[in-house]
Amino acid sequence: MPILVGIVTLIFLLLHLAPGDAATAYFNPNVSPEIIDRMRENLGLDRPIHEQYFRWLRAFFTGDFGYSFGQHRPVSAVLADALPNTLVLSGVSLVLIFVVGCAVGAVQAVRQYSKLDNVLTFTSLFVYSMPGFWLGLMLILAFSSPALPDALRLPISGVTSVGYEFMGPLGKLLDRARHLVLPSIALGIASAAGVARYMRGSMLEVIGQDYIRTARAKGLPERRVILKHALRNALVPIVSLLGLYLPLLFGGSVVIEVVFSWPGMGRALYNAILGRDYPVVMAASFFFGVLVLAANLVADMLYAAVDPRIRRA
Amino acid sequence: MTGSRRSVRREAWRRFLRHRQAVLGLLLTVLLALTALMAPLVAPHDPDEQTDIVATRYQPPSVEHPMGTDRFGRDVFSRVVYGARISLMIGFLAVAIAISIGTAVGAIAGFLGGWLDTTLMRGVDLLLSFPRLVLLITLVALFEPSIALVTLVLGLTGWMGTSRIVRGQVLTVREMEYVTAARVLGFGQARILVRHILPNVLTPVIIAATLGIGNTILAEAALSFLGLGVQPPTASWGNMVASGRDTMLDAWWITTFPGLAIVLTVMSFNLVGDGLRDALDPRHVA
C-alpha cells in the first residue's frame, strides 16, 4: 500500500517537472490569456503545490483520473477499454514464456552438450538479443508475404477480424486466438529464451543431486525420475523469475501493441504521449506500476505455494 | 583468494579464453567498436548523402549498396555503420552513468546501514516496480527528445540493479578481516569504503555492466523506434527500422538490416558478459 502512494507521488513529481502545466494543453492562438488563467483557476493549478498534491492523491484514490484531451472522454473510460486487451495479451504471453521456456530448458538439461542443446543455446541467445519490435515486424513481413500458403496465414493486426460480429461463439473465440498468436510470440519469445537458460541451469543442478541418484538406483524408469522428481524441483526457483520478467513484459507490450495495432494500454500510452494528452499518460503510467505490483504479489503467493519451506517462514 | 593478484587474474583470463563463444563475442565486440570508431573509413558512402532521390531510392541490395537504399536514396549500409557509432556511444555512456549512480547508492546503503539503507532500498524497489520502457517514455515525453536526454534517462533508469548488487557485496565484504584491520588502524570511514571495500565488489559490477550495455542498446532502439529517441536524420538503428515500416513489403531491407545489426551487437555483448561470469564467478553452473 505505501508503495502505491509512492507511485502516485512519483508521477505527480514527474508531471510537475515538465515545462508547462495541464492548462497549456488547451493553449492555441484563438484562446485569450484570460481564459487560460480562468481555466487554471478551475483546475486548481494556481493553488500551492502541496494542496495540489493532496487533491491529486484524493482524486486518484476515488477513481477520478481526469479527462482525456485527445479522446474527449474520461480517462477511466479510455483505460477501461484498453486494460483488458493488454491483460489478455500479457497473460497469453506469460503462459507462452513459461511453458515454452521451461520445456526447452528441461530438454536442454536432459540432453546436455548434445547437438540439440548447442543449437538451442545458440537460438536462445539469438532470440534473447532481439528487439521485440523488430521480431514483430519480421513476423508481420513473413506472414504478409505473397509466397505464404493461405492455410498458414495469421492476422497481423488488431484484436478481431472484420466480420467478427457475424461469427458464432466458437468462431469468435478462434478469431481472437488467431489474432493473439503473432503479438504474443513477439512479446514473449525473448523472455522465453531467458527462462530456458535459467531452467537449463536449474534442472542441471537438480539432476546432480543425491535424491535423483537414489531414485535411479531404486530402479525407477528414467522418465519418471525426470518428470516427477527432477522437473518439479527444478521449477521452484523459476517462479522467482516471474517478478523479474513481469515489468519487462508490460514494458514490451507498449512497443508490441504499437507494432501490431493492438488496442491496449501500451498503445494508449504511446498515442497519449504523441498527442500531449497528459492525464492519460499519467493514469496509464500509474496503472503500469500498479499492474507490476499486483503481479509481484501474485508471484510471491505462488512462490510460497510452490516451495513449502517459504510457507513456514 | 589465495595466490598473488596476477595469477588469479591470469587464471580467470584463461578460463575466459577456454569458452569459444565468449572469445567470439569479444572479437565481435572489438570489431564493432573499431567499425564505430572508424566509421568514415568503413562506410562506402556518406550516410546523409542524397542525390537524385527518385532515381536512387528503394534500391534492393547490390554490390554498390550492400544493404540497399532507403526512401531518400541513402545507402543503408553506411547508415548502419554510423548508427553503430550512435548506439555504442549511447550504450557506453548510459551504462557508465548507471554504474556510477548504482555503485554510489549501493555502497552508501550497504556501508552505512540503518534507516538510510532502508529508505534507499525502498526507493530502489519503487523505481523497479515500473517497467523501464514506461519510465523512459514518460520521462522523454516531458522534454524534447535528443541524444543527450536519451543517454541521461537511460542512465537514470538503469542503476537500480547495480545498487542492489553493490549493496549485497558491501554487506559481505564489510565484515571481513581486512576491513576490521583497517578500522583498528584508525582509517576513516570514507577511506575504508573507497580503498578497501570498493575494489573487491567490482567483479559482479563488471559483469552486470557488460550485460547492461546490451540491454541499454535494446532500450535505446525501442525508444528511437517509437520516435522518442534519436531523431532523424541522425541514423540510429531503432529509427531506421521505423522508417522502413511503411514500405516493408516492397523494401524489406530498410527494416531488416538495422535490426540484424542490433541483434548481432547485443549478442556479442551478452556472450562477453556470460564468458566473464563463467570466468570470474566460480560458483556459476554452466
Interchain pair A134, B241: CB under 8 A:
yes
All three cell numbers of A18:
515538465
Query: What's the pLDDT tens digit per position in A151-201?
Result: 777 877 877 777 777 778 888 888 888 888 888 999 999 999 989 988 888
Which residues from B are below 8 Å from A105, CB to CB? none
Distances in whole angstroms, Cα of residue A8 to Cα of each of A61, A134, B129, B156: 10, 33, 12, 19
The answer to whether A270 contacts B226, with C-beta atoms less than 8 Å apart, is yes
The pTM assigned to this predicted structure is 0.84
Interface-testing mutation among B135, B138, B226, B284, with chain A (most A C-beta atoms within 10 A): B138
DSSP string covering B210-224: HHHHHHHHHHHHHHH
- pLDDT tens digits for B191-241? 766 666 666 778 888 888 998 999 999 999 999 999 888 888 888 999 999
Judged by a CB distance cut-off of 8 A, whether residue A293 touches chain B is: yes
Tens-digit pLDDT profile for residues B53-100: 777 788 888 888 888 888 888 888 888 999 999 999 999 999 999 999
Residues of A (121-160) whose Cβ lies below 8 Å from B: 125-126, 128-134, 137-138, 140-141, 144-145
Identify the CA nearest to B151 among candidates B198, B112, B98.
B98
Contact A254 B134 (CB under 8 A): yes
Alpha helices in B113-159 (DSSP H): 114-128, 132-142, 147-156
Nearest to B259 among A17, A134, A145 (CB): A134
Asked if the model's pLDDT at residue A241 lies above 50, the reply is: yes
A108 touches chain B (CB under 8 A): no
Predicted complex: ipTM over 0.90: no
The residue count of chain B comes to 286
Q: Which residues of A195-230 are buried (b: 16+ CB within 10 A; e: fewer)?
A: bbbbbbbbbbebbeeeebeebeeeeeeeeebbeebb
Dihedral, CA of residue B216, residue B219, residue B224 and residue B230, to nearest 10: -30
Question: Closest Cα partner for A135 from B153, B225, B133?
Answer: B225
